[in-house]
Chains A and B, each alone.
Chain A
Amino acid sequence: QSALTQPASVSGSPGQSITISCTGTSSDVGGYNYVSWYQQHPGKAPKLMIYEVSNRPSGVSNRFSGSKSGNTASLTISGLQAEDEADYYCSSYTSSSTLDWVFGGGTKLTVL
């Protein structure tokens, strides 16, 4: 089972906006509106930031938004802040074999 494809790294300056892409196939990202995004700081457990493509859990800043087009999902962070520096992972429900969830390889966000 191949992981979803994310850029290894992205960077931006405080106040700017950045977008992280997550590319899959019609069996996962393109086939379902069940894409999630996670933020992970070093040594910490991942935190759910977006679910079902574009929904934010309670307590997550509205600077975080999600979208999807075809087989590619995207996470946009606006008004970058120093605390946003972290690793970000996408995940999608999948109908490939009996696998239920597949993750992306992760993207390191650096706030310059």
Chain B
Amino acid sequence: QVQLQESGPGLVKPSQTLSLTCTVSGGSISSGSYYWSWIRQPAGKGLEWIGRIYTSGSTNYNPSLKSRVTISVDTSKNQFSLKLSSVTAADTAVYYCARDQVVAGFDYWGQGTLVTVSS
């Protein structure tokens, strides 16, 4: 059973960079034809896809966030990571990592981690 777990600071100051890591267990991040995605959800609001990475390192990002987002992968640690720069209060949300079945949706999700942007 594949499991994903987000980790990182729960509080980030405005203008700084948000950094989160997703650790995948129960299977190799490199096995199968999967992408690995980040999705976020502000309190009381809907889901927003941030971007995804393939284990080759190929990435795609939401155009609305593209200038501030970097997603990377470390196959040796079975992890992928998110960096979001120049954060503001609008970036306060629960951040989820998920396994992306290319076109068949997100079948495994982390439990989510709340990141608050505040001074």
Contact = CB atoms under 8 A, between A and B. Distances in A.
Nearest to B103: A34
Interface string B97-115: 0001101111101111000
Contacts, number: 67
Looking at chain B's contact residues, the main secondary structure is loop
A51 B49 contact: no
B58 to A, nearest CB: 11
A105 B105 contact: no
B33 interface: no
Nearest to B52: A100
B64 interface: yes
A105 B107 contact: no
A52 B107 CA distance: 12
Contacts of A101: 37, 49, 52, 100
Please classify how large the interface on chain B is, using the bins under 10, 10 to 19, 20 to 34, 35 or more.
20 to 34
Please classify how large the interface on chain A is, using the bins under 10, 10 to 19, 20 to 34, 35 or more.
20 to 34
Contacts of A23: none
A80 B33 CA distance: 35
Contacts of A38: 47, 105-106
Given A34-B103, A36-B105, A103 B46 contact: yes
Interface of A: 1, 3, 32, 34, 36, 38, 45-48, 51-52, 55, 57, 89, 91, 93, 97-106
Interface of B: 37, 46-49, 52, 60-64, 66, 96, 100-101, 103-107, 109-112
